[in-house]
């Protein structure tokens, strides 16, 4: 990771204002779509932007891992309801055993990675699993994955183009 120069107060205020605007517009989008559970979308944003530093190569594994992990957590409630407590929990734990085994072996890393286990863990929290709102939470997560992945990609593309833009005659004379 490259060490970047920390922004001064003026630039930090501009960045902070831009963040507030983007988050506000995003929350408005969620409101218009009828999505009330924004927390899970921000968990994805935090994981991808902070833990994976929004690296382009980490976008797809982060997205797939988050969706797969949360989908897997839904089976904690679904399998016992479908097959009975003993069989359902037994099958769920056997499935988790296989997923952990695949992680240890480094297999299926597009689906099974850090995001998988983060969202599996969060989805298995009793308050979340017991809310019986899996479909609502999953739809919110999918919306957040699509929005934040696209937003970060577009922002990165625009910032890269701006950074590689040749200096104008006025800017060039100011640099001397």
Read off the pLDDT of each residue in 88-96 and give the average, rounded to a whole number. 97
Whole-structure pTM over 0.75, yes or no?
yes
**Full residue range of the structural domain in which residue 128 is found:** 36-164
What is the structure's pLDDT at 161? 80
Which residue's entry shows tokens 């490259």? 2
- pLDDT surpasses 90 at 75: yes
Q: Residue 115: inside a domain, yes or no?
A: yes
What is the structure's pLDDT at 45? 96
Q: DSSP letter at 24?
A: H
Structure tokens at 95: 């499935």
- pLDDT surpasses 90 at 39: yes
Q: How far apart are CA 71 and CA 96, in angstroms?
A: 12
Q: How far apart are CA 72 and CA 63, in angstroms?
A: 14
Structure tokens at 37: 């559970």
Q: Residue 19: inside a domain, yes or no?
A: no
* Among candidate residues 122, 117, 149, 130, the one with its CA nearest the CA of residue 49: 149
Q: Residue 55: inside a domain, yes or no?
A: yes
Read off the pLDDT of each residue in 94-105 and give the average, rounded to a whole number. 98
Per the structure, the count of domains in the chain is 1
* Among candidate residues 139, 130, 132, 126, the one with its CA nearest the CA of residue 67: 139
Q: How far apart are CA 43 and CA 21, in angstroms?
A: 19
Q: Residue 87: inside a domain, yes or no?
A: yes
Q: Residue 156: inside a domain, yes or no?
A: yes
Q: Residue 28: inside a domain, yes or no?
A: no
Q: How far apart are CA 68 and CA 128, in angstroms?
A: 16
What is the structure's pLDDT at 175? 55
Cβ proximity of 75 and 95 under 8 Å = yes
Q: Residue 18: inside a domain, yes or no?
A: no
Q: Residue 66: inside a domain, yes or no?
A: yes
Q: How far apart are CA 70 and CA 68, in angstroms?
A: 6
């Amino acid at each position: 990771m490259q060490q970047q120069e920390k922004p001064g107060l003026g630039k930090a205020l501009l960045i902070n204002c831009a963040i507030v605007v983007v988050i506000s517009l995003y929350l408005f989008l969620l409101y218009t779509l009828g999505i009330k559970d924004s927390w899970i979308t921000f968990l994805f944003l935090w994981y991808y932007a902070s833990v994976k530093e929004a690296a382009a190569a980490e976008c797809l594994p982060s997205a797939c891992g988050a969706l797969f992990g949360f989908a897997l957590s839904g089976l904690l409630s679904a399998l016992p309801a479908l097959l009975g407590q003993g069989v359902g929990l037994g099958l769920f734990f056997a499935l988790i055993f296989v997923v952990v085994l695949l992680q240890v072996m480094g297999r299926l890393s597009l689906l099974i990675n850090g995001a998988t286990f983060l969202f599996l863990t969060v989805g298995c929290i009793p308050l979340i699993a017991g809310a019986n709102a899996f479909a609502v939470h999953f739809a919110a997560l999918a919306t957040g994955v699509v929005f934040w992945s696209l937003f970060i990609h577009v922002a990165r593309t625009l910032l890269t183009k701006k950074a590689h833009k040749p200096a104008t005659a006025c800017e060039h004379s100011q640099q001397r």
